[in-house]
Amino acid sequence: MYELFRPRALKLDSGYVITCPSGKHARISDKEFLQFKRKNIGKELYHKLSKAGIIITNANKQAVVNAYRNSKQFHSPEIHEIEIGSLELSKRLAKFLSGIPSKRLKIVIRGDKPLEKLEAIKLLLKSLRHSVSLEIYSDMESMNKERLRILNKFKAKMVVPLPIKAGHWLTKIEVIGIPRVSAKILSTEFSGLKRIRLEPDLFENSKRYVKFWQALIESLVNTDIIELETLELYKKAVLGGQSLTCGAVINRLAYDSKGSIFPCYNAMLADEEFFKLGNIQSTYQELIKSQPVISMLKSEFAPNPACSKCAFSPYCENCVVDNFLEHGSPSPIAGARLCRIRKQQYEQIFKWAYGSTRISRMLKAWIKTKDL
């Protein structure tokens, strides 16, 4: 006896991947798919599907509930994207952040000339009781030895747009924007893998973006470069990471230099009143109970009938900003630009994951990389 857990099928070149709402999945052959469709499941297939949680039996019921619960966990926000401002603002921000129950925070400094505001960054970090990892977006123009020394002390990771001028000072790096993948990257402290992230401008045209993305991943075989967007999608889909939303409010918040709070940095740039959640004058506890936060979470988790049959809905992150800018509402709509991109990417990622090509091997190796 078994029940089906809202399964969705994705056709591969040979066989199918069946996914279910907890994000678990299993690959089955064409013959097994026919059995599955006719609800005439043999012993071997029964075992495979119950192990993956796609059919629910008395033996796996609790494990399926646990997997589903974990996939929808609400985290306190750990990523904080900050447009750094005055020393006074750093003090107030530290007070606000001290109300966050997480042990670890990732502080991401963005905005104009952050290297010239190191005093404000230092003050913020020193005032926090959390264990902190620091990431700074900078073109590195105003880097010098003293600033590098301070950044190294905080083990800062720099996010740098390409092309980088040879000889630039870098600590750990992540490179955004890809006019040229082969930029020369120097590293003072970090000799491991380099990371890149695709340039959001390419989102403008979904076909062009996906084509470029596929070619890029192909070109990374046998290099020491990791592409972060692909790694994140792969982790979510293949390793059952919980996504369902992009993480705005749930595990990230952004702050402008006046102390206003937004769901994420892109929401801050969107310059829409809709995305303003509050101000750091309040406490964190007051913020998370406030109406703007509740409305934002409702939009992020709004069930979308158009997605209900999509095999990728357990993994597909819903970008409230992208939705809002595209069709004036934060709720997702199937067929929107990000949907078109993600559908093609997830399909390709499952093909790689269940294949044995050079790219499949490269993605498996990326997953094992420490220090990402």
Distances (CA, A) of 216 to 220, 228, 364: 6, 12, 17
The CB-of-224 to ligand SF4 minimum distance in angstroms stands at 31
Q: Is 25 in the site for ligand SF4 (CB under 6 A)?
A: no
The CB-of-276 to ligand SF4 minimum distance in angstroms stands at 26
The CB-of-334 to ligand SF4 minimum distance in angstroms stands at 4
Q: Which is nearer to ligand SF4, 21 or 332 (CB)?
A: 332
Q: Which is nearer to ligand SF4, 143 or 302 (CB)?
A: 302
Residues 6+ apart with CB under 8 A from 295: none
Q: Is 23 in the site for ligand SF4 (CB under 6 A)?
A: no
Q: Which is nearer to ligand SF4, 108 or 349 (CB)?
A: 349
Q: Which is nearer to ligand SF4, 123 or 311 (CB)?
A: 311
Length of the chain: 372
CB 333: neighbour CB atoms within 10 A?
14
**Segment 88 to 117, residues that bind ligand SF4, using CB under 6 A:** none
CB 190: neighbour CB atoms within 10 A?
17
The CB-of-309 to ligand SF4 minimum distance in angstroms stands at 8
The DSSP letter of residue 200 is G
Could you give the CA distance from residue 4 to residue 46 in angstroms, rounded to a whole number?
Answer: 11
How many chain residues bind ligand SF4 (CB under 6 A)? 10
Q: Is residue 251 within 8 Å of 240, Cβ to Cβ? A: no
Q: Is residue 55 within 8 Å of 230, Cβ to Cβ? A: no
* Dihedral pair phi/psi, residue 262, rounded to 5°: -130, 165
CA 3 to chain centroid: 32
Q: Is residue 3 within 8 Å of 41, Cβ to Cβ? A: no
Each residue 213-252 as x (binds ligand SF4 by CB under 6 A) or -, in order, gives ----------------------------------------
Q: Which is nearer to ligand SF4, 19 or 138 (CB)?
A: 19
Residues 6+ apart with CB under 8 A from 283: 96, 99
Q: Which is nearer to ligand SF4, 296 or 310 (CB)?
A: 310
Instruction: Give the one residue of 198, 320, 343, 353 binding ligand SF4; rule: CB under 6 A.
Output: 343
- Can the peptide bond before residue 332 be classed as cis, meaning omega within 30 degrees of 0? no
Q: Is residue 247 within 8 Å of 266, Cβ to Cβ? A: no
Instruction: Give the one residue of 25, 110, 157, 342 binding ligand SF4; rule: CB under 6 A.
Output: 342
The CB-of-206 to ligand SF4 minimum distance in angstroms stands at 11
The DSSP letter of residue 35 is H
Q: Which is nearer to ligand SF4, 310 or 349 (CB)?
A: 310
Could you give the CA distance from residue 367 to residue 353 in angstroms, rounded to a whole number?
Answer: 12
The CB-of-234 to ligand SF4 minimum distance in angstroms stands at 16
The CB-of-332 to ligand SF4 minimum distance in angstroms stands at 5
Q: Is 332 in the site for ligand SF4 (CB under 6 A)?
A: yes
Per CB under 6 A, which region of 203-211, 231-239, 331-339, 354-362 contacts ligand SF4? 331-339
The CB-of-219 to ligand SF4 minimum distance in angstroms stands at 25
- Please give the structure tokens belonging to residue 315: 């993994």
The CB-of-218 to ligand SF4 minimum distance in angstroms stands at 23
Q: Is 339 in the site for ligand SF4 (CB under 6 A)?
A: yes
Query: Strand runs (DSSP E) across the chain, as ranges?
Result: 3-4, 8-11, 16-19, 25-28, 55-56, 79-83, 104-110, 131-137, 157-161, 172-176, 194-197, 225-227, 252-255, 260-262, 278-279
Q: Which is nearer to ligand SF4, 89 or 316 (CB)?
A: 316
Q: Which is nearer to ligand SF4, 148 or 310 (CB)?
A: 310
**Segment 259 to 318, residues that bind ligand SF4, using CB under 6 A:** 307, 310, 312-313, 316
The CB-of-307 to ligand SF4 minimum distance in angstroms stands at 3
Binding site for ligand SF4 (CB under 6 A): 307, 310, 312-313, 316, 332, 334, 339, 342-343
